[in-house]
Structure 1
Amino acid sequence: MRLGGVYGIWGYSHFRSNLGYFIAHKHLFSTWLDQTSDFDVADVREALSAFSRLIHPNHKRLFEGIFKTLETGLSKLGDTAAKQTKSISELLQLIKDIPMDGKQSYDVLGFIYEYLIGMFAANAGKKAGEFYTPHEVSVLMSEVIAHHLKDRETIQIYDSTSGSGSLLLNIGQAIAKHMDDNDSIKYYAQELKENTYNLTRMNLVMRGILPGNIVTRNADTLEDDWPYFDEQDPVNSYNPLYLDAVVSNPPYSQKWDPQHKDADPRYARFGVAPKSKADYAFLLHDLYHLKPNGIMAIVLPHGVLFRGGEEGVIRKQLIENDHLETIIGLPSNIFFGTGIPTVILMLRQKREGSDVLFVDASKGFAKEGKNNKLRACDIKKITDVVIARATMPGFSRLVPKTELQGEANDYNLNIPRYVDSSEPPESWDLYASMFGGIPLSELDALADYWKAFPNLRAALFTLDGTPYAQPKAGDLAEAVRQHPEVAKFNDAFARAFDGFKPWLHSELIGKMLTLQVPRQAALICEELFARLAKVGAVPLIDKYQAYQVLDDHWQPIAVDFEILQTEGVDATRVVDPNYVVKKKDGKDVEVQEGWKGRILPFDLVQLAHHRKELDALRKKEDELADVVTQLNELLDSFSEEDKAKDTFNEAGDKFVAAAVAKEAKELAAEAKVAGAFGSDPYEAKIIQAAKVLANEKSLKAAIKKDAAALHLKTKATIEALSDEQVHALLERKWLAPLVDELHRLPDLVTSSLIAKLQALVEKYRITYADNARQIQQAEKALVSMLGEMDGGEFDLKAIEELKTLLAGD
């Protein structure tokens, strides 16, 4: 965020003319946090007034009223200034404590909103997420659009229902990977709700976009088409707005007024959406504002693919005129506040070809609470398929227009008609169920493995000329792992990734202050895929699984890059106070508890530079764990009557150390006088417990002392690291975990094959005939037992009837 401060006349003028606004130091969020008891609601009112007063005249349209929601909301925080001050002070602390974890790099307000509605979904209401597109969906749309626009020198992008502005931000970030000048991107946004419109403006401004590159409009997209002009000069400033990219996530199936819209140029060519569902009205609005070589993406409910009536007419026209390019089916429960399935439709004004790519991405996601979430590997797979317009069985298919037009489909675009992503049902072979053996047809289903390991099948199974195989190896897992072809596969992977870590070191650590993070991520992905292609047996290692490994490790690395490129290499030698929240007098109080490395974690530095002290500390911790086990065993050996004594707590589940020590001391003194210990087991165990408790206390004190000393020693080590030591530690933090996890991929392949084979063997190991014989034997044994039973007249009649049934007579 670009902020102004008290920098004199030059600073004031510089910030105001370049940013469009100026914020004095005393009005900053950080200043208010530091004020603590001196903070007052009047400070907020003064800051808001000053902000409005100091907006540069050239940017009045962008900034005027941007804080209106906050201004009007202050009075709702309390009926007195004191109550308002208290509420705002608490709000400042809440905002400060939101766990950003580096995610602020993509969308500050969007992340906070997503975090809050994720935490408080029960109170957020069904419409809570209607103006926020989940980050992952936004990234997916952005990546495809960015690829389409990557060779252009200047780009204009537009969101017709902008909400929080996250879609625009992500597209801008994705495009920036392909451009040298981020200021060549111009952002247009339109939003109906005033509060949400202010959120759009705020979010775009906070990302440091030049004010001249932000054009926003608070209006009804369907009723008030864009034609943008300045009221002071409507003729010369008129802009019909045709753009390189248009994106939107409009409210689903919203009611609207279609009267007289057939004359509107946005709808005249295609038809007017029904009044009960404005989905196609939003789509046609977006399409109308596309340049001939532009691209658009819109998120809509799945029903737009097959509903009839006016929507069917519009859909037919879009297909006939070759505007519809791609349909992506998303998982259900992916948007906050609605569980309905949604789709992304991608359209063009003009394009080569008339086929439509269908992608069924509904099965690829991770479950997070009540919602489903696209993973990085899912986004990458969809993006690759869409860019390549590739057919992938069970996932995507390029469908010719003639098939869509045909009588069988009649312009129905329901995805399952064209892509079958369903899992085949499990089948049971009748012969194998009766007589055993593994059906060859079920082994054939593992064709990718047999292709990679041509001789492995014969090594594991015996063929007898029938369509059934018998397990040959006693230990399937061992036989698979030891097979020469599997070992060769592992060696091929190792060779393909030979030198990968040094290459990463050169690309990341060697260039950490100058590299462009998004471009570098793409470069590493290309290298990763290229090396996987060298392995051979490629189908066995899912490159998108490898990509997920890369992305999981890349996210924290990217956060470190942001710090390094802002603060320099010296940031690696910085330690910050480690603050934790503790209860004090019934209130949460933030207190310092040691230190933490800004970039380099203490545990990593200890492993590299203080291994001797760390091992000694861990040895004591292991001894303490043994002592705790001894205490638990001793505790269990006492009777409930013993545990009612003062040497135990009220619950009887812990020793009272002081009481145990006192009683043990008295017992020792009595024994000294008597010349020997008594024979009472309780007394002997109490004396033993006192010794163990004393050992526990001693160990805890030693561990606390040693840990504190090691902590301070680590702090000093970090602050004195050489550049060479920093590079070595960064390699251990960034590269080693990534490379190690990638090298585990071949073993995952082997483990998967073993699990499938063991499941097949177990499936037919016990036949139906075996089960029948066991049941028969059990029935005979039961009949014999029933014959030995006695009882009354009616009991005996019942037993005889049961014996008859069991005997099968």
Structure 2
Amino acid sequence: MLVALKKSDLYSSLWRSCDELRGGMDASQYKDYILTLLFVKYVTDKGKSDPNSLIDVPAGGSFDDMIALKGDKEIGDKINKIIGKLAEANGLEKVIDLADFNDEEKLGKGKEMQDRLSKLVTIFADLDFRGSRAEGDDLLGDAYEYLMRHFATESGKSKGQFYTPAEVSRVLAKVVGIGPGTRQDHTVYDPTCGSGSLLLKVADEAPRSITIYGQEKDNATWALAKMNMILHGNEDADILKGDTITSPQFTAGRQLRTFDFAVANPPFSTKSWSNGLENDYGRFELGRPPEKNGDYAFLLHILKSLKSGGKAAVILPHGVLFRSGAEAIIRKELLRRGYIKGIIGLPANLFYGTNIAACIMILDKENAQARTGVFMIDASKGFVKDGNKNRLRSQDIHKIVDVFNRQISIKRYSRMVSLHEIADPKNDYNLNISRYIDSSEPEDIQDLHAHLHGGIPDRDVDALSGYWEAFPSLRGTLFMGNRSGYSDLAVGVTEVQQSILDSDEFQKFANEVRSQVDDWFTTHRPILQALDADTLPNDLIAQISDDLLARFKNTPLLDEYDVYEQLMTYWHGVIHDDVFLVMNEGWLDAAKPRKAIEDKGRKLSETPDLIVGSGRSATKYKTDLIPPALVVARYFANEQAEVDALNATADEASRAVEDYLEEHATEDGLLAEAMDDGKISKVLATARFKVARHEGTDPEEVKALRHLINLYNDEALAKKAAKEAQAALDLATLKKYGDLTAHEIKLLVLDDKWHATITKRVAGELNALALALVSRIEELGERYGETLGNLEAELSKLDRLVAMHLTDMGVK
């Protein structure tokens, strides 16, 4: 059976495959095995569906040949030979054949190796790339990145440097200057390309493609980059091996070759960068970097590798912005010549191999002499925690790119800093971002006069001006004058929230926000309902998300990037998978329930969405596209209401049993004789009832037991009725899936699922705004609610009470 190739399925299947190999290896070793099998499986499937595939899959060199080896005692050696044939047929020796599948130290001996590799091949056999189109390539590339992220996370501090987080790569790709005017013959270069993910993100920004060049020092990582390029359809990318500083591979005689664009995430602060350096290719004419710190060696190499109008974006540690000595001399020359276009400060702990904060330095040789300033962004506070690392969100990426490319000044975030200011003696060409952008939040100043005499300082109320501009009359509802410069709350602290939520202006604002989302969705509904095999999901989400962002740009209070993030989070978590299902299977087939996978031996069990029947005869279903709740809400609302009512009746019956037992099942209660370990089941109650009647026990006990049994019977009947109604509803729901038309499916997915969820998520942003206002007003009300006079009066009152009590006790 072939697993439905949703993004989430692919990711989880691939990561499970890693579990099969964990025994004798760490992540830096087993990544080579996993990614090699991924590559062979992909090109095998691609060859079956694409007659123009540039990769030749020879007889005896395909993944199908590996499947035939399951259980074979010589499986390891034979897999090596299969990969060898594929490598030889495509000139990929020392690229895809680096992992030794017959290594007993890593994979175990005899039966252990045989079982491990057989399981591994089986997991990959469940994935099918034959239907892969353009988005399929992206999907596979995302899976490759997913594995890279996991491998980097688990490889430890020294071995995670082969991977630049995809989110950071996207920022570099979008700020380096590539756009609609970029041609296929334009060139992009990464001198420390690692696994190639950064270069590929840049290539994605070029509408007509771009010519790729890269160099990587580590042999295994170079091989990963070569495979990565092929997996993304960039077989012609020129990726060479060698140390970029001591042995640059892209040269023209005694000069470096030059490129239109460059991107890089060089190793931070390399201490041995100059070991073996013989020819500097004129790279250090602005100054020689310090012997024990290679950051500027890479930066100057990149600068020298740019054409006269070339542009580069480079990830560097913050130290390059302010360190003294030789680096200060180089930095001064770079600025005086106008090569530095911008600097973007990033959050700490984004990168694998280091926790320190880094920055992006943007170099631009075009019109460098005319440059009069450096555009700076402090983006250090925009991130989300992701495990033990930080990660840029979609909104952080979009904001950085928008602000940099449009050179927008935002208080505490971005500004153009003149070279005159940078050169001022007090700064002396120091580029530390905090010198020029104060990103700290304003201090919440306590007002001593208000603490003494009461009243909320007007400056604190004025600081909420954004709310008063959006809701002009709300300030008058919540506050009233006290004395000059101070106000009092016009409602109780506990009434603030309801006063805000009930105000006509807030209700009107909420309706307008909802209408904006409705109008946006209505505009794009035609292209969403036209989803088919030729849809380009990346283009689709870029179009609709940018429009949502633009629509909320001038909405007061709401940050358009927060609204954008709600859509993007839902896209990555749900809609992308939905779109891909529809692309590959069509609306009708994508909506059909499928039997849930139950194979606990291979860790592939799925949580069912719908269960029909009970016990061993139960059939469990997954409904990937349309959750059962949506079908029920649209077509079986009355039946659901009946089930809810029956469940409520069953709950009441259960509570009646509990209440009766709580009252009478005590040591001295009427039901004490029927108790066993403090409990009385229906069986115990029935048994005791028979004995009590036969022995002529206290009539009150018999009466109590009879009542308890009746309560248990009522509970059983109520639960049975609810269960039967639920079973009938589940069966009707399953049948309804089979009767749904394409039109009905689109209503359920587009309106009831996507539109409704996005509306709810944006409403959540609105509620968060309201609660932030409530919280601040409550804080101010409580802070200044008790004056010194009130406290002194309360203290005096307490003193008098204590004195009276002491007198009553005979104490003077």
Q: TM-score, normalized by length of structure 2?
A: 0.81
Which stretch has the larger CA shift, 692-701 or 270-279? 692-701
Q: Are residue 730 (structure 1) and residue 749 (structure 2) matched?
A: yes
Q: 1:335 aligns to what?
A: 351
State the Cα distance separating 1:249 from its structure 2 match: 1.7
State the Cα distance separating 1:786 from its structure 2 match: 4.8
The 5-angstrom pairing of residues 641-790 of structure 1 reads: 648=676, 652=677, 660-670=681-691, 673=694, 678-680=699-701, 707=726, 710-731=729-750, 732-743=752-763, 745-786=765-806
The 5-angstrom pairing of residues 426-441 of structure 1 reads: 426-441=444-459
Q: Are residue 215 (structure 1) and residue 243 (structure 2) matched?
A: no
Secondary structure at the aligned position of 1:157 is classed as strand
Q: Is the 8 A contact 1:4 1:25 kept in 2?
A: no
Q: 1:383 aligns to what?
A: 401
Tell me which of 330, 344, 348 is aligned to 1:314: 330
The 5-angstrom pairing of residues 493-572 of structure 1 reads: 493-494=513-514, 496-497=516-517, 499-511=519-531, 513-533=533-553, 538-555=555-572, 556-572=574-590
Q: Is the 8 A contact 1:322 1:350 kept in 2?
A: no
The 5-angstrom pairing of residues 348-497 of structure 1 reads: 348-351=364-367, 353-463=371-481, 466-474=484-492, 475-490=495-510, 492-494=512-514, 496-497=516-517
Q: Is the 8 A contact 1:159 1:188 kept in 2?
A: yes
Q: In structure 1, how many angstroms separate the alpha carbons of the residues matched to 2:159 and 2:483? A: 64
- CA deviation profile, 1:362-416 (whole Å, cap 9, x unmatched): 1122223332222211111111111111111000111011111110111111111
The 1:531–1:78 alpha-carbon spacing in structure 2 relative to 1, beyond 3 Å, is closer
Whichever residue aligns with residue 320 of structure 1, its letter is R
Q: Is the 8 A contact 1:106 1:170 kept in 2?
A: no
State the Cα distance separating 1:674 from its structure 2 match: 6.4
Q: 2:100 aligns to what?
A: 71
Q: 1:795 aligns to what?
A: none
- CA deviation profile, 1:487-534 (whole Å, cap 9, x unmatched): 55445445545533321312322355544322222322332234325x
Q: Is the 8 A contact 1:21 1:56 kept in 2?
A: no
The 5-angstrom pairing of residues 169-318 of structure 1 reads: 169-175=200-206, 179=207, 181=208, 184-207=209-232, 209-212=233-236, 214-227=237-250, 241-258=257-274, 264-265=280-281, 267-318=283-334
Whichever residue aligns with residue 174 of structure 2, its letter is E
Q: Are residue 49 (structure 1) and residue 81 (structure 2) matched?
A: yes
The 1:744–1:665 alpha-carbon spacing in structure 2 relative to 1, beyond 3 Å, is closer
Whichever residue aligns with residue 604 of structure 1, its letter is L
State the Cα distance separating 1:307 from its structure 2 match: 0.9
Q: 1:608 aligns to what?
A: 634
Tell me which of 167, 179, 183 is aligned to 1:149: 179
Q: TM-score, normalized by length of structure 1?
A: 0.82
State how many pairs are aligned: 745
Secondary structure at the aligned position of 2:360 is classed as strand
Q: In structure 2, how many angstroms separate the alpha carbons of the residues matched to 1:749 and 1:573? A: 37
Any unmatched runs of 5+ in structure 2? Answer: 1-38, 130-135, 609-618
Q: In structure 2, how many angstroms separate the alpha carbons of the residues matched to 1:294 and 1:328? A: 19
Alignment root-mean-square deviation, CA: 3.9
Q: 1:804 aligns to what?
A: none
The 5-angstrom pairing of residues 560-639 of structure 1 reads: 560-580=578-598, 582=600, 590=605, 594-627=620-653, 629-630=655-656, 633=659, 638-639=665-666
State the Cα distance separating 1:156 from its structure 2 match: 3.0
- CA deviation profile, 1:24-70 (whole Å, cap 9, x unmatched): 699438x867x7x943463454344233324476x51xx22223342
Whichever residue aligns with residue 667 of structure 1, its letter is R
Which stretch has the larger CA shift, 756-765 or 89-98? 89-98
The 1:27–1:497 alpha-carbon spacing in structure 2 relative to 1, beyond 3 Å, is closer
Q: Is the 8 A contact 2:650 2:719 kept in 1?
A: yes
Q: Is the 8 A contact 2:245 2:277 kept in 1?
A: no
Q: Is the 8 A contact 2:83 2:96 kept in 1?
A: no
Whichever residue aligns with residue 548 of structure 1, its letter is E
Q: 1:166 aligns to what?
A: 197
- CA deviation profile, 1:556-581 (whole Å, cap 9, x unmatched): 22222223223333432433221246
State the Cα distance separating 1:299 from its structure 2 match: 1.6
Q: In structure 2, how many angstroms separate the alpha carbons of the residues matched to 1:743 and 1:202? A: 44
Q: Are residue 19 (structure 1) and residue 54 (structure 2) matched?
A: yes
Q: 2:613 aligns to what?
A: none
Q: Is the 8 A contact 1:136 1:373 kept in 2?
A: yes
Q: Is the 8 A contact 1:107 1:166 kept in 2?
A: no
Secondary structure at the aligned position of 2:355 is classed as coil
> Identity of paired residues, percent?
27
Q: Is the 8 A contact 1:52 1:65 kept in 2?
A: no
Whichever residue aligns with residue 139 of structure 1, its letter is R
Q: In structure 1, how many angstroms separate the alpha carbons of the residues matched to 2:73 and 2:401? A: 48
Q: In structure 2, how many angstroms separate the alpha carbons of the residues matched to 1:239 and 1:602? A: 66
Q: In structure 2, how many angstroms separate the alpha carbons of the residues matched to 1:463 and 1:454? A: 16
The 1:87–1:266 alpha-carbon spacing in structure 2 relative to 1, beyond 3 Å, is farther
Q: In structure 1, how many angstroms separate the alpha carbons of the residues matched to 2:45 and 2:340? A: 54
Tell me which of 112, 120, 126 is aligned to 2:147: 112
The 1:482–1:303 alpha-carbon spacing in structure 2 relative to 1, beyond 3 Å, is same
The 1:632–1:158 alpha-carbon spacing in structure 2 relative to 1, beyond 3 Å, is farther
Q: In structure 1, how many angstroms separate the alpha carbons of the residues matched to 2:215 and 2:673? A: 75
Q: In structure 2, how many angstroms separate the alpha carbons of the residues matched to 1:778 and 1:80? A: 82
- CA deviation profile, 1:51-92 (whole Å, cap 9, x unmatched): 3324476x51xx222233421673323452322122334555
Q: In structure 2, how many angstroms separate the alpha carbons of the residues matched to 1:292 and 1:645? A: 98
Q: In structure 2, how many angstroms separate the alpha carbons of the residues matched to 1:767 and 1:39? A: 82
State the Cα distance separating 1:340 from its structure 2 match: 1.2
Q: In structure 1, how many angstroms separate the alpha carbons of the residues matched to 2:678 and 2:550? A: 60
Any unmatched runs of 5+ in structure 1? Answer: 230-234, 791-798, 801-809
- CA deviation profile, 1:662-716 (whole Å, cap 9, x unmatched): 4333334345556887434xx7766666555556666666666655554454344
Q: In structure 2, how many angstroms separate the alpha carbons of the residues matched to 1:639 and 1:97? A: 59
The 1:481–1:13 alpha-carbon spacing in structure 2 relative to 1, beyond 3 Å, is closer
Q: In structure 1, how many angstroms separate the alpha carbons of the residues matched to 2:762 and 2:744? A: 25
Which stretch has the larger CA shift, 568-577 or 400-409? 568-577
Secondary structure at the aligned position of 1:299 is classed as strand
State the Cα distance separating 1:417 from its structure 2 match: 0.1
Q: In structure 1, how many angstroms separate the alpha carbons of the residues matched to 2:505 and 2:788? A: 36
The 1:589–1:523 alpha-carbon spacing in structure 2 relative to 1, beyond 3 Å, is closer
Q: Is the 8 A contact 1:12 1:22 kept in 2?
A: no
Q: In structure 2, how many angstroms separate the alpha carbons of the residues matched to 1:688 and 1:126? A: 69
Tell me which of 158, 164, 169 is aligned to 1:127: 158
Q: In structure 1, how many angstroms separate the alpha carbons of the residues matched to 2:386 and 2:125? A: 25
Q: In structure 2, how many angstroms separate the alpha carbons of the residues matched to 1:88 and 1:142? A: 39
